[in-house]
Structure 1
Amino acid sequence: MTQNAPVKVTLIAGGVGGAKMAEGLYHLENVELSIIGNIADDDAFHGLWVSPDIDTLTYTLADVIDRQQGWGVADESHRALETLSKLGDDTWMSLGDRDFGLHIYRTHRRRQGDRPTLIAQDIAKSFELTCDLILPTDDVVQTRVKTDAGWLSFQEYFVKERCAPEVRELHYDHIEEAHATEEALKALAEADLIVVAPSNPLVSILPILKVPGILEAVKAAKAPKIGVSPIINGGVVKGPADRMLASLGFESTAFGVAQIYAEFLDCFVIDHADEQHISAINGLGLSTSQDAILMKTREEKVRLAAELLAISGVVDRSGEELSA
């Protein structure tokens, strides 16, 4: 880095929690942000390819997100879904009319043979985003959830079943044969800082890291690697991460998440409520930083994002960039 050059931050992120962290970093001055988003939640509905986490990131940064529910478009209508229901289609996956427009565009481009990464980037540009939104792979990778009733797609578990079934096993279909995108590998190699968002580690972050080549690129990167805990005082703000961790034999605490990330992170940021885990996390070889990590307002998101840059040593507390 040179003095006053933008700080290159690469964020590894899932949906709602990832979008909060992305929003904080996006609104920091002098940050050149790249986001590697989760695509293992993707699935087809009504003949259209839907990419929930990528769309949540896009809608959030474009400031058109429905902030009350954390996903979808604000001021949305559901007339298309009403018609599909009247025609006898299964409509448990709630897709709004504006949302349908994006899915139609994405599906049309995919059928033309365009690369999914380029489609996602073109969508981001159309929404006037100034960051780089990147897919970890252009191949189809899908999370499957094993319950007592058998295997479910992630959206069946998450939306249709409302995360109620006990999770017995997770599988990321086709991940072994997936290929990392050059854009993702480049963003990791050139980053001044790599951040793991407070997303569900099992179904948002690991499906990115398990794409062959991604974790290796993270480890090889010279940038500091810092993660933010999605668990606060043994619980989550939104989603099933705490119950999933417990069901699959992990400790449902900030320490349990740190164990998953210990092989590649340098620092783990936890909430003040989790001070009791500092010694154990440090015992994993990670440094630990405490902060108020619950992000409700944009100001809180930006403040935490600025703190991450300071904790990592990329900038000093005044916001001045430190020379390499």
Structure 2
Amino acid sequence: MSVPVVKLNSGYEMPILGYGTWQSNPGEVGEAVKCAIDIGYRHIDGAWVYQNEKEIGQALTEKYAEGKIQRKDLFLTSKLWNIDHEPKNVKEECKETLKLLQTDYLDLYLMHWPFSFHKTEARDIIPKDDQGNVMYTYTHYLDTWKAMEELQKEGLVRSIGLSNFNEYQIDKVIAHGRITPAVHQIECHPYLNEESHLKYCRQKGIAVTAYAPLGSPTRPWGLPEEPKVLEDPTLKRIAEKYGKTTAHIAIRFQIDRGVIVIPKSVKSPRIKSNYEVFDFQLSSDDLDAIRNVNKNWRGLSFDFAGKGHKYWAWHPNYSED
């Protein structure tokens, strides 16, 4: 089955459905990626901070060796982590990811968050001082972005983009950078439908990727009282109507809005099920019904590590002026 594509402002095409690899641990992610490719996924979303790119790279190399796919058949995304926002470090981390994935280029490279951390000798993912405080640096994301532009210029990456930014920050990147971001990757699901932001990105010519499209039910810091997207009565009713699961409906909700979507699972039946969303289309009434369950509920703000930084995107009335 051919997956529809989204044409990026860089001129490249990105499959609208991808396979996400966050929380896919070493020892299981390789087999999961190979399973996804066998099913038909051609878009793999990853990041250095997930600490699983080496195994993904090995899995991809094994699939190439089978002769069924080539590198050019895949769309590979990775992300620059917060400890390497200093311009001098950007190319180094990108090259490390290329080496881990065993590839000469990335199809898309994103700035994972707009704020930066201190880079320790041990390269701690969230560096903390002796008192347990997150060790921030204040490299401006514009300086980081300009270094990422050089990666595209050199051919190490085909497209560059952002993740977890607000519109003030995106406007700043567009105004002061040479390249408009090709993609903005954000948390997006029926309880956080981001309708206004999708409209904003369309106006700017930026494609949107929805991560946690099922509400990230297995996120490690989930609490019992938090809403569960896949148990929503409206989604259940619509799923029954189409003979589908609520996960199918949540994924199709993004596709029918033109949003790239990257559901994640390491279980082969679920990986297969998440791909089975191209044999139906939601009606406009059903899309509106799903829009109406929006709660503006964000489960993955990274506030425990980012809220103390001035560039964390969700400060009320955000401004750098």
- The alignment's TM-score, normalised by the length of structure 2, stands at 0.36
